[in-house]
């Protein structure tokens, strides 16, 4: 059963030679529980007002999550604590193979509010760093 939630996204990206970028959004979404996993679905809005349907699979007790984006931006980014993963970031016809070096994935929560955090470094296949990312997703069930 899907439940309505408020999803708060907080992203911080640290670059070696550029200013830090910070983004906060609060979005309506839905939360589905299946076994030991939570699925969040919401439409993320970019700086260019582009709407990207996003699903986040959160695997409780495993320090693992997967961010799946569909539409103009397509990707399936698996994030598992202390692991390096490869994935494809696609915009239109452009496909960019990337690597995520995951430092940590942390999950916490109560019955009414859940928080998942991921800290990772994105890099190209040839090793060029694309920033250190800190993502925090907080989802709170809306009371009816």
Q: What is the pLDDT of residue 23?
A: 93
Range of the domain at 50: 2-141
Q: Low-confidence residues of the chain, pLDDT below 50?
A: none
pLDDT of residue 110: 78
What distance in Å separates the CA atoms of residue 125 and residue 88, rounded to the nearest whole number? 11
Domain count along the chain: 1
Radius of gyration from C-alpha coordinates of the chain: 15
- Report the predicted TM-score, pTM, of the whole model to 2 decimal places: 0.91
pLDDT of res. 40: 96
The CATH number given to whatever domain includes residue 64 is: 2.40.128.20
């Amino acid at each position: 059963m899907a439940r309505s939630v408020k999803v708060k996204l907080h992203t911080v990206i640290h670059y070696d030679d550029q200013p830090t970028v910070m983004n906060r959004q609060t979005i309506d979404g839905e939360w589905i529980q299946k076994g030991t996993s939570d699925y969040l679905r919401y439409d993320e809005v970019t700086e260019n007002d582009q709407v990207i349907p996003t699903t986040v699979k959160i695997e409780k007790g495993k320090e693992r999550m997967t961010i799946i984006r569909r539409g103009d931006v397509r990707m399936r980014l698996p994030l598992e604590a202390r692991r390096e993963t490869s994935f494809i970031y696609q915009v239109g016809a452009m496909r960019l193979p990337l690597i995520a070096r995951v430092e940590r994935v942390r999950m916490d929560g109560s019955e009414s509010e859940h928080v998942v955090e991921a800290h990772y470094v994105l890099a190209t296949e040839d090793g060029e760093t694309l920033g250190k990312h800190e993502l925090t997703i907080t989802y709170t069930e809306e009371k009816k």
